[in-house]
Structure 1
Amino acid sequence: MSESTHSRIADEALAAELAQAAGAILLGIRAEGLGVDDGRELGRRGDKAADSYILDRLAAERPGDAVLSEESADDRSRLDAARVWIIDPLDGSKEYGLPNHADWAVHVALWERGSGITAAAVAQPALGAVYSSGDEADSVPANSPLRVVVSGSRPPAFTEAVAAELGADVVHMGSAGAKAMAVVRGEVDAYLHAGGQWEWDSAAPVGVAQAAGLHCSRIDGSPLLYNESHPYLPDLVICRPELAESILGAIAKHSTESAVSGRVAMAREYVNALLTHDATKVRFATDAWRVENGQRTGDTGAFISNELEQGQQYRGIVAIRELALREWGESVVARYLLDLGTPGQAPAVTVFVTEYFGIPAGEIESILAIIEPYENDSKEAGTQ
């Protein structure tokens, strides 16, 4: 056995061990906390605990390797590293916070320069299962009719058209890892996604799926690339290899959406959080700042995130309309109308918002907002 083969086997074993152990931690937290009312807070507790465990183990056992984790600040030194662990300590945090849901997972993957994903593991703790790129591939028969799994909350717009062309049934599920492992087990024949993802969402599932002999690519058939400057991967296909040509052809025929960039997606998540008061998917730099009409309204990412969720100044937002986003270089500008008032009633006030986001890498570093009075045409006509 060569040294490189031995190293790969050791990395695969470590990935599986980390995923399984982090899953056990998550099961313990879930058992203790499922009685709480706030499932989102439960997910955050789990995310933090699993992330801390995995990072501590990697620091001890692979001290020379870089790490890209959903729950940690993006250390740009990873771009020059030969080995980068790509981690999602809790994929499917929404489902994790709900009782009787097994569709959540732990992702641990290793990317190596020149080789891509070389070791990967996905744990589904609620099923008592761990899947590894080191597992022996099993041959499973296709389903009849074919079964396609998509996100329960953000299915691709082309889902029904593609399924109809393939004569396939559609299954909805949470967690990218859970959906990918359903393909590995043969419960479904393909996993399609086009609603936006990050590298940590797919790195481990793709590593396991590729080792199992499945086709993995972007929806246009191009390869999935990892450890990129901006860790955003908007879409993917994981499927039985014999179905790849027909699935990609059907997607090309029925897909009318253009994939947005990671920076635009990140700015959009921030704007959405103003309305939903859920900042779970918004990534801020530790020292992120925000200025609104010349007034400093945030000096840390944690403060801005908490304000989005708890700040009373945002509770009166009832709608965001006519959102337009444009990217240039490392910046994104968002322009939109923001309605303030009482839900179910005509807005009491509408303002026009222009926000400039500084997003050099995988986190929002700055927000400069200009908020102006706005009167629609009907109001202006009534004053003449």
Structure 2
Amino acid sequence: MPETDVDLLIRAAREAGQIATRYSGRDARRWDKPDGAGPVTEADLAVNAMLAQMLPAARPGYGWLSEETEDTAARLDHDRVFIIDPIDGTRSFAEGSRTWAHALAVADRGVVTAAAVYLPQRDLLFSASAGGGAFLNGAPIRVSAPAHLAQAHILAARPNLQPEHWTGGQVPAFHRDYRPSLAYRLALVAQGRFDGMLTLRPSWEWDIAAGELILREAGGLCTDRSGAALRFNNPKPRLDGVIAGGHTVHRGLFGALDPASAGIAAH
């Protein structure tokens, strides 16, 4: 039987973990990207090189979008495209933390259909395929369902709680937590360990694509900050923030945001 896209991504994610864990985060060579785009390490580049060889070879008709590959318009000519973050949470990796992930996805005409998020140093492998459910290390996962937003634990960076983002300057009552990897945040919400995830700053597709499907297949809702469904493989591969969680939590967060704040980016 031919290998499915999700099985291919799982195999690739595990191989990526074997490469990345050969490097010591604090000792890995590190550079700062131009224009304040953040750091990159030799581990990011080594993982990207492997994935850029392995995945297109397995699916020669798919396009390619990766944080560590110079983007071209060629991917727009493909219905299906790989969307890859070789290491999501590079700062965390470089600091020696274990909360970084490999985030791999396939999108078909803008909709993610297969995904894997792997944290090799925590032995956590989240996966999903369209219509096939979401899994952690092979076991099904499901979003939580708190009765009220006030009971919810939301993964969000502190700037998202600035009053200017919220209607009337009133930040809703919820418990705030944080993890550095956006893909891991989405996966944790899919697992039900946290109730929601929020980022109001423009977000790169490779940070979001894999986690979006995993959360959606776990019964959650994932939109941009205006409430629109997320679409991928855009000419400019950025999304207008992300609101994610079970339906009650998503409705509570979206309803409390000030629509007029859409042009204000949280950092």
Q: TM-score, normalised by structure 1?
A: 0.58
- How far off is 1:110 after superposition? 0.5
Contact 1:146 1:166 in 2 (8 A): no
Query: Deviation string for 1:312-343 (max 9, x for gaps)?
Result: xxxxxxxxxxxxxxxxxxxxxxxxxxxxxxxx
Distance 1:226 1:23 in 2: 25
Distance 1:24 1:248 in 2: 39
Aligned: 1:84 with 2:81: yes
Identify if the C-alpha distance between structure 1 residues 139 and 229 changes in structure 2 by more than 3 Å, giving closer, same or farther.
closer
Secondary structure of 1:68's match?
A: strand
Distance 2:164 2:234 in 1: 28
| Aligned-residue identity in percent | 26
Distance 2:57 2:196 in 1: 37
Distance 2:23 2:171 in 1: 43
- How far off is 1:14 after superposition? 0.8
What letter is aligned with 2:26? L
Distance 1:157 1:126 in 2: 33
Secondary structure of 2:103's match?
A: strand
Equivalent residue, structure 1, for 2:36? none
- What is the Cα-based RMSD across aligned positions, in Å? 2.9
Return 5+ residue gaps in structure 1 as ranges. Answer: 1-5, 261-384
Superposition pairs for residues 7-22 of structure 1, below 5 Å?
Answer: 10-22=4-16
Q: 1:124 aligns with which of 113, 119, 138?
A: 119
Secondary structure of 1:224's match?
A: coil
Q: 1:67 aligns with which of 46, 51, 64?
A: 64
Distance 1:51 1:24 in 2: 13
Q: Which has the higher contact order (CA 8 A, sep 6+)?
A: 2
Identify if the C-alpha distance between structure 1 residues 138 and 58 changes in structure 2 by more than 3 Å, giving closer, same or farther.
closer
Contact 2:143 2:218 in 1 (8 A): no
Equivalent residue, structure 2, for 1:105? 101
Contact 2:13 2:102 in 1 (8 A): yes
- How far off is 1:71 after superposition? 0.6
What letter is aligned with 2:98? A
Secondary structure of 1:28's match?
A: coil
Identify if the C-alpha distance between structure 1 residues 140 and 84 changes in structure 2 by more than 3 Å, giving closer, same or farther.
closer
Superposition pairs for residues 125-274 of structure 1, below 5 Å?
Answer: 125-134=120-129, 135-136=134-135, 137-139=140-142, 141-142=144-145, 145-151=151-157, 155=160, 157-158=162-163, 166-252=172-258, 256-258=261-263
- How far off is 1:77 after superposition? 1.5
Distance 1:161 1:104 in 2: 30
Query: Deviation string for 1:155-188 (max 9, x for gaps)?
Result: 4535996897543111122110121122112221
Distance 1:138 1:78 in 2: 32
What letter is aligned with 1:157? Q
- How far off is 1:55 after superposition? 0.8
Contact 2:28 2:43 in 1 (8 A): no
Contact 1:156 1:194 in 2 (8 A): no
Query: Deviation string for 1:187-234 (max 9, x for gaps)?
Result: 211100012211111111111111111100011101111111111113
Equivalent residue, structure 2, for 1:58? 55
Q: Which has the larger radius of gyration?
A: 1
- How far off is 1:70 after superposition? 0.8
What letter is aligned with 2:261? T
Contact 2:143 2:220 in 1 (8 A): no
Secondary structure of 1:213's match?
A: coil
Secondary structure of 1:221's match?
A: coil
What letter is aligned with 2:141? D
Contact 2:154 2:196 in 1 (8 A): yes
- How far off is 1:118 after superposition? 0.6
Contact 1:156 1:192 in 2 (8 A): no
Distance 2:194 2:143 in 1: 10
Return 5+ residue gaps in structure 2 as ranges. Answer: 34-38
Secondary structure of 2:194's match?
A: coil
Distance 1:228 1:36 in 2: 32
Contact 2:209 2:232 in 1 (8 A): yes
- How far off is 1:10 after superposition? 0.3
Identify if the C-alpha distance between structure 1 residues 27 and 167 changes in structure 2 by more than 3 Å, giving closer, same or farther.
same
Q: TM-score, normalised by structure 2?
A: 0.82
Query: Deviation string for 1:328-376 (max 9, x for gaps)?
Result: xxxxxxxxxxxxxxxxxxxxxxxxxxxxxxxxxxxxxxxxxxxxxxxxx
Distance 2:77 2:197 in 1: 32
The number of aligned residues is: 248
